[in-house]
Amino acid sequence: MSDIGSHVVGLIGRGIAASRSPRIHEDAGRGLQIPLAYRLVDFAALGLGDEELPRIVSLLRGIGFSGCNVTFPFKQAALALCDSLSSDAATLGAVNTLVFRDGTVRGENTDWVGFSWMIEREIGDVRGAMVAQVGAGGAGSATAYALAHKGVKELRLFDPDSNRSAELANRISTAFPECRLTVADDAAEAIAGAAGVVNATPIGMASLPGVPFDPALMHGDQWLADIIYFPLQTQLLSAAKANGQRVANGVSMVIGQAAEAFRHFTGLTPDREHMLARMLGVLDAEQHPGART
């Protein structure tokens, strides 16, 4: 579906100047020996209003981009610009990847693929397990979809906005009727008795420090998957690690979704382990600027 040649792709979003996507994708291109340029289309830096999204997508398609990633705040708005959608994107109600082919726009969602790889790589088989998830926003939709896809028996959702949890539970239940989705009244109810816990909130990021729930609610036999990757070690992850829990940060999710988007753009599958090793080196250097790498 892709002519293997040179590619120009990009990321559409607002306030994305610090995005590491250009480095991730261009490194992957070099690894496969194909010319690939990745450009940021930052609506904040360009002084564009959100209503300009259709024009920008049309412009990028018209000047020969192979596609583009989409991030905040456009993952839902971009749905209306697609001529076709993958079943995953349709169920999730959001796209993070637009693929331009033969004058058409296809919407894909690779976020859930990235989290699925993160669970597979860092946690292992979760089939038949009961899992707790805190956070039911955009990222939470992708993580819940991935967990149901991987065969969890029950997924307990907690979000301060109970309506958001209920809406997500209904959507995932429709796609995966074999997975029991329940809405918890608080984090303690969600976590009690779970095999593992997912933090699908932004709480713990460098720009939003803190914990999304009391770490004491978890016990040593539970695993913890945190979608945050900057910092590499959040306060929640540190507490869980000290408690003897198996933990995973969000770096592999970022790489997994990027590798899948790269495949959609180019038709080629990059080496995710190599991409991950490169990314970990970059993040470690950023978070420990005085250290040798």
Q: pTM for this one?
A: 0.92
- pLDDT by residue (tens digit) across 35-63? 999 999 999 999 999 999 999 999 999 99
Please enumerate in sequence order all residues whose Cβ is within 8 A of that of 215, keeping only pairs 6 or more positions apart, or say none: 236, 239, 240, 243
Answer whether 7-109+253-287 and 112-249 agree in fold: yes
Which of 75, 150, 153, 241 is labelled catalytic?
Answer: 75
Residue 49 has a CB neighbour count (10 Å cut-off) of 7
- Using alpha carbons, select from 190, 185, 120 the residue that is nearest to residue 149: 120
CATH 2.40.50.140 given to domain 7-109+253-287:
no
- The token pair at 29 is 């291109």
d(CA 98, CA 264): 9
Domain 112-249 CATH superfamily: NAD(P)-binding Rossmann-like Domain (3.40.50.720)
Please enumerate in sequence order all residues whose Cβ is within 8 A of that of 123, keeping only pairs 6 or more positions apart, or say none: 196, 223, 225, 246, 248
Residue 75 known to be catalytic: yes
What are the sequence ranges of the domains in the chain? 7-109+253-287, 112-249
- Using alpha carbons, select from 189, 246, 251 the residue that is nearest to residue 222: 246
More confident residue, 18 or 147: 147
- pLDDT by residue (tens digit) across 165-208? 999 999 999 999 999 999 999 999 999 999 999 999 999 998 89
- pLDDT by residue (tens digit) across 57-111? 999 999 999 999 999 899 989 999 999 999 999 999 999 999 999 999 999 999 9
